[in-house]
Amino acid sequence: MFCISFYSKALYNTPKIIRDFINYAEVCFREFGDRVLYWNTMNEPNVFTIGGYDQETTPPIRYSPPFCQKYNSSRGDSTTEP
């Protein structure tokens, strides 16, 4: 997860951004650390989602509506696909 306020910053590779991200991570750990065992950062999680549900390039590759709006696909049934 990436804090939306970071998108308004002009430069991402600066000491201030590094401090901001550390502060953000510390808040997450403090607020959710008692409930979260494993932490992972993902670069561009939207790419995975778009690829799996619209462009059919990454799992789970859902082929049928309401997924896969890019194509009028009848290759699958999203109600029964695992």
Tens digits of residue pLDDT in 4-26: 565 565 666 678 888 888 998 99
Count of structural domains, the chain: 2
| Widest pairwise Cα distance in the chain | 50
Distances (CA, A) of 40 to 2, 13, 21, 43, 45: 11, 20, 14, 10, 11
Rounded CA-CA distance 74/76 in Å is 6
Q: Are residues 49 and 73 in the same domain?
A: yes
Tell me if the pTM is above 0.75. Answer: no
Q: Are residues 17 and 27 in the same domain?
A: yes
Say which of 26, 44, 56, 81 is annotated catalytic: 44
Which range of residues forms the domain containing residue 70?
44-81
pLDDT in tens, 31-79: 999 999 998 887 777 777 777 777 777 777 666 565 555 555 555 555 6
Q: Are residues 19 and 49 in the same domain?
A: no
Q: Are residues 66 and 49 in the same domain?
A: yes
**Residue 44 is among the residues annotated as catalytic for this protein:** yes
